[in-house]
Amino acid sequence: MKNLLIVLSGPSGVGKGTIVNRLLSSGGFSLSVSCTTRAPREGESEGVSYFFTDRQTFEKRISEGGFLEYSEHFGNYYGTPKDFVYEKLKYSDVILEIEVDGALQVKRARPEALLIMIAPPNEGELISRLEKRGSESKEKIRERVKRMDYELSKKNLYDYTVVNDDLEEAVKEIRNIINSAKANS
């Protein structure tokens, strides 16, 4: 069986990070590390949180085709380095936790990539989860909900959509999707 490139996307607050951590803890998976031009935040470390680089180096890498996907947000570049992912794929399945536009770039570059959209059970539940975080202003929550509409409008371009209504069930469903994809590869 060939190792899989697995892309997980979904709205902020849907539980992507928790699901990814559950998958990683079960073994057999590597998490892709993105490259960025933004400065490291407190507690972040090189090669674990991100690969930190300057704008000139990032743009050179773009011109050389060095990213599976990349985008610019708030004046900083973010991207998934091809060489890192391809090296990891030699030894394990690789998970990319990225936003929808990046996911679709990956699918164009690697049609065999497995795209899984994580969706909330409904808008009210997503708002409740964002409010429980306590880290978002009301305005930020409204922005994230507006972004959710855009992200979920792209779910038909994904291979699967999993509703995270119950965390254990969502993780189980994703594992089943991955196992089935591996069996058919």
Other CB atoms within a 10 A radius of the CB of residue 154 amount to 16
Please give the single-letter amino acid code of residue 132: K
Segment holding 48, helix H or strand E: none
Q: For residue 28, which amino acid is it?
A: G
Distance CA 130, CA 124 (A): 10
- pLDDT 10s digits, 116-160: 999 988 777 777 777 776 666 777 777 777 788 889 899 999 999
- CA distance from start to end of the chain: 6
**Residue 149, phi-psi category: left (phi > 0), alpha (psi -120 to 50), beta (remainder):** alpha
CA distance 71 to 6: 19
* pTM for the structure as a whole: 0.88
Q: Which residues contact 179 (CB under 8 A, 6 or more apart)?
A: none
On average, the pLDDT of the chain sits at: 90
- Is residue 41 within 8 Å of residue 172, measured between CB atoms? no
Structure tokens at 11: 């709205």
pLDDT of residue 11: 87
Residues lower than pLDDT 50 in the chain = none
